[in-house]
Amino acid sequence: MSMNRVQAKLQWLHTSVTPKHTWYGVHPKRGGIEAVNAFGVLKDCAGVPVHDCWAPYWLIQCVHALCNAHLLRELTP
């Protein structure tokens, strides 16, 4: 997820990637689960999402995995 400008306004680029497909969505919010729910991409997640430990991801009912780089960041005081 990254912050970008769309029509001069800050927007967040959300992505979901599988070995065969990449999905992109732009939303004005990152905080909360609002953007994730608005897209509906992870609603019926059957795989294991690898993510950066962003708190709203834990609200998705599935098995989770953490990105190693982000996990190390979380463990650094």
pLDDT above 70 covers what percent of the chain? 94
| Amino acid 22: pLDDT | 93
Residue 61 has pLDDT above 70, yes or no: yes
Residue 1 has pLDDT above 80, yes or no: no
Q: Which residues contact 53 (CB under 8 A, 6 or more apart)?
A: 66, 70, 71, 74
Nearest partner of 11 among 22, 20, 19, 2, judged by Cα: 2
Indicate the number of domains in the chain: 1
Per the structure, the complete domain to which residue 12 belongs is given by: 2-75
CA R_g for the chain = 13
In the block, residue with structure tokens 């927007």: 11
Mean pLDDT for the stretch of residues 7-18: 86
